Amino acid sequence: MVLNQGTAHFNMLEQQVRPTDVSDSRLLDALRQVKRVDFIGADLAGLAYADTALPIGYGQMMLPPILQSKMLQALAIKDNESVFEIGTGTGYFTALLATLAMRVETVEIVPELSAIAEKNMQGYGFVNVKFHVGDGAIQWPFDDRVDAIVSTAAFVTIPEHYLHQLQVGGRMLAIVGEGNSMEVQLVSRLAEKEWQTVVMLETVIPAVINAEPKPEFEF
């Protein structure tokens, strides 16, 4: 039996996300409001709410919903905060950020994906999102410091540039490592020259384009 999208969406929240200790009420409300199926191709609609990564074209993927939910809960975004996202994709994670934050800026290296994301989000009426097309692998020109930075693809190590763009009290969440050895790290800026890193969980996802591990030389 094929579940309808409403039932599948409900089951994602109640049978997948909640049982993994995702309990933040604002986050759960955002997950109810933003429909994952609106951000994937029609051919994958039947898998929209499965806990699996989904291809979104151009060699990129949408992360599984449990991982996305845990990332957002760890960031603990407040409604008066600004967020910078590295890797817009088709806009699902961006839309969740926009529901939680005061202001979101997001950068995507694939122009076609950025355009798709803007189109996907039009029906939601967000007015607090600014889209950029460009390479955010190492750095990005910020107008001002932000409260939170999040990357939807993996770094071998977090670029120091981004840590310096955080407000004191801000945090960056990124998946760090290479191969089959990656972990979700939350880096908090405690003072002007002091950061603290907490490892949240282990996972494996694709690398940020142009920040992939360098191949080892063989002799």
**Mean pLDDT within 8-22:** 95
83 and 150 Cβ atoms separated by less than 8 Å: yes
pLDDT digits (tens, 9 = 90+) for 151-210: 999 999 999 999 999 999 999 999 999 999 999 999 999 999 999 999 999 999 999 999
**Mean pLDDT within 24-35:** 97
SS (H, E, C) 71-85: HHHHHCCCCCCEEEE
State the pLDDT confidence band at 1, using cuts at 50, 70 and 90: very low
User: Is residue 30 predicted with pLDDT exceeding 80?
Assistant: yes
- How is the chain split into domains, by residue range? 5-202
State the pLDDT confidence band at 219, using cuts at 50, 70 and 90: very low
pLDDT digits (tens, 9 = 90+) for 34-80: 999 999 999 999 999 999 999 999 999 999 999 999 999 999 999 99
Position 215 scores a pLDDT of: 62
pLDDT digits (tens, 9 = 90+) for 82-131: 999 999 999 999 999 999 999 999 999 999 999 999 999 998 999 999 99
Q: What amino acid is encoded at 213 in this protein?
A: P
pLDDT digits (tens, 9 = 90+) for 139-152: 999 999 999 999 99
- CA-based nearest residue to 71, from 108, 17, 35, 29: 17
**Mean pLDDT within 21-32:** 97
CA distances to 34, 52, 128 from 29, rounded to whole Å, are 9, 21, 18
5-202: CATH homologous superfamily? Vaccinia Virus protein VP39 (3.40.50.150)
Task: For the sheet with 82-86, list strands across it.
Answer: 129-133, 103-108, 82-86, 146-155, 166-178, 181-191, 194-202
Position 15 scores a pLDDT of: 95
User: Is residue 216 predicted with pLDDT exceeding 60?
Assistant: no
State the pLDDT confidence band at 211, using cuts at 50, 70 and 90: confident
